[in-house]
Amino acid sequence: MRLVILTLLSAAILPYSTPDVFSSDELISNGGFETGDLSGWNVTPTCDVRSYVYLRPHMGKYSLRLGVEGGEGVLSQTIRIPERSKANFSFAYKLDEGAALDVYLRDASGSDVQHWSLREETDWKLLKFEVDAQLIGKPLTIIFVGKVFTEKRLEAVEVTSPTGQTSIIYTWSIYNYWPYIDSVSVIFEKAYYIVNVEVSGLPAGLSTNLYVDDQVEGSVKVGLSKRLQFRIGEHHRVRVEFYVNDTQQVRYVCKYYSTVTNASSDETLRFDYLPQYLLTVESPYGRTEGSGWFNKDDTAKFSVAPEAIPMDGLPGFLGAKYKFKGWGGDLRSTLRSSEIRMDSPKKVVALWEADYSSAYVMGVVIAALVSIPCIVILKVVLTLKRLRKRR
């Protein structure tokens, strides 16, 4: 029988190396003793690697015998299971009659959190155990303590003398029953993956809401990322706000604002925001086009139509109108259709001037048309007066 003790000890007791990355899924060094020695283990002198010649191992060519006649042997190794993982501990054991093996799991304070007391198992048996989640990411010491059972027997031995006379004598014989272990393993697999969410392009003080599967998971700002943890195999949709408003004339837009996680490995998602500025096109007359949001440094086109607008009332009836003169505000131009570079919020206003030239002409014509009948009537009246005097 074999004893395995999993113990969490501080580095001051049993130093260990903490892996920075997941380089392998097997954390035990020389768990099958196939080096032919005890490299990788902390041991007492009472442990001995045995080859196939002495005992058929569980796997490979070697196994480990623990203890000494009437005593015990201790074997240990300290590991650390990477965070966000799950791990299974296993080992094979074989116990001669009367031999004993104890297995422990100990936390960093030295307290036992799990203990197995194993007895007689005359053939190899594999024990498996899923390591408790509370031990993940902490020092974990695997310890095997095996105790040899020693039996002293008084046995009769037949002895033949040189003369051929046979006699029986009694002698004490010592029999040792050993614990053996083999195939020690702690295999981990990642249970979770991490997604770090970052944003760029937003000014200090502005943040965007973060959504996971359309549920708000806090906010993100430049220089302050958000860490998300998901189970391996699970896909999740991660997105930020499409628009983030700064002022009424300035906002920030994220073109690629939504993505799906890869569900298997750690990754960093970065959402880039670009500034947009508002172009305001105003005119007291006509119809304007071009108002709206534009990316920084884009060229915005705008216009007003028509070129002239009749005045209201009699002046308009006579042909008076307002005529487009040009643009004022953030651009000076005389073209009805113009362009402006959007390097900041912009406002342009159409300028108009009154045009009465057509009204003057129309007034003269009307006056002329009105005066002709008057002259004719006057002449008729004068003629009639002259005729009356002659009578």
Cβ distance 322 to 333 under 8 Å?
no
Domains in the chain: how many in total? Answer: 3
Q: How are the residues of the chain apportioned to helix, strand and coil, as percentages rounded to the nearest 5?
A: 10, 55, 35
Q: What is the mean pLDDT of residues 315-337?
A: 92
| End position of a domain, from candidates 223, 249, 272 | 272
Q: Does some domain include residue 363?
A: no
Query: Token pair of 71, please?
Result: 């005593």
Q: Write the DSSP assignment of 130-192 as a string of letters.
A: EPPGGGTTSEEEEEEEEE-EEEEEEEEEEEE-TTS-EEEEEEEEEEEE-EEEEEEEEEEEE-E
Q: Which of 15-24, 67-76, 189-198 has the lowest mean pLDDT?
A: 15-24
Mean pLDDT computed over every residue of the chain:
85
Cβ distance 324 to 304 under 8 Å?
yes
* pLDDT exceeds 70 at position 224: yes
Residue 164 vs residue 307, higher pLDDT = 307
* pLDDT exceeds 60 at position 368: no
The CA distances from residue 103 to 57, 88, 177, 247, in Å, are: 20, 15, 19, 66
Q: Does some domain include residue 350?
A: yes
Cβ distance 29 to 18 under 8 Å?
no
Query: Which is nearest to 100 in space by CA: 170, 150, 53?
Result: 150
Any idea what DSSP says for residue 263? S
Helix (H) or strand (E) holding 383: helix 357-390
Q: Does some domain include residue 240?
A: yes
Q: Does some domain include residue 41?
A: yes
CA distance 170 to 150: 19
Task: Examine the domain organization and report whether 151 and 77 are in the same domain.
Answer: yes
Task: Examine the domain organization and report whether 34 and 89 are in the same domain.
Answer: yes
Query: Token pair of 105, please?
Result: 């799991």
Q: What pLDDT is attached to residue 388?
A: 64
* pLDDT exceeds 60 at position 326: yes
Task: Examine the domain organization and report whether 184 and 214 are in the same domain.
Answer: no
| End position of a domain, from candidates 272, 299, 328 | 272
CA distance 387 to 391: 7
| End position of a domain, from candidates 272, 300, 317 | 272
State which residues form the domain around 99: 5-190
Task: Examine the domain organization and report whether 186 and 196 are in the same domain.
Answer: no
Could you tell me the pTM of the whole model?
Answer: 0.58
Query: What is the gyration radius of the CA atoms in the chain, in angstroms?
Result: 50
